[in-house]
């Protein structure tokens, strides 16, 4: 398994996400201090599991949709958690990033 401290930074960034908000992988990566490593964020979160103090369910892809497969034990669980926090899902299972994305600061290139 990974012995890098990058995971710890990613987890720390995810922990900073306010309740009722979501953040994209790229955004979390940037907050973690490793811009460009959106995939690493996903990789790190995939290593997680229940019992962690990291609100991994608040992390979604840039399209505002859950990247995980529609597994009732994983993806569906994430959706339920977000809905429980007040996040509204669209009919296609997509989140309205316009309202729920954690806008602390946006990418400079957009």
The residue ranges that bind DNA (CB under 7 A) are 1-2, 4, 6-7, 24-26, 36-43, 45-48, 56-57, 59, 61-63, 66-68, 74, 78, 92, 94, 107, 110
| Least distance in angstroms from the C-beta of 86 to DNA | 19
| Least distance in angstroms from the C-beta of 22 to DNA | 11
Angle between helices 38-47 and 6-15 (to 10 degrees): 90
Nearest to 59 by CA among 67, 70, 48: 67
| Least distance in angstroms from the C-beta of 110 to DNA | 6
Map residue 23 onto helix, strand or coil.
strand
Q: Which residues contact 14 (CB under 8 A, 6 or more apart)?
A: 23, 28, 41, 45, 54, 55, 56, 58, 59
Is the Cβ of residue 18 or residue 96 nearer to DNA in the bound state? 96
Is the Cβ of residue 53 or residue 110 nearer to DNA in the bound state? 110
């Amino acid at each position: 398994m990974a012995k890098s401290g990058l995971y710890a930074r990613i987890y720390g960034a995810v922990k900073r996400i306010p309740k009722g908000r979501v953040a994209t992988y790229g955004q979390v990566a940037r907050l973690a201090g490793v811009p460009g490593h959106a995939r690493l964020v996903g990789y790190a979160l995939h290593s997680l599991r229940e019992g962690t103090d990291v609100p991994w369910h608040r992390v979604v892809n840039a399209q505002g949709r859950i990247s995980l497969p529609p597994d009732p034990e994983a993806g569906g669980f994430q959706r339920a958690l977000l809905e429980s926090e007040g996040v509204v899902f669209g009919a296609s299972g997509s989140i309205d990033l316009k309202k729920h994305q954690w806008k602390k600061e946006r990418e400079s290139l957009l």
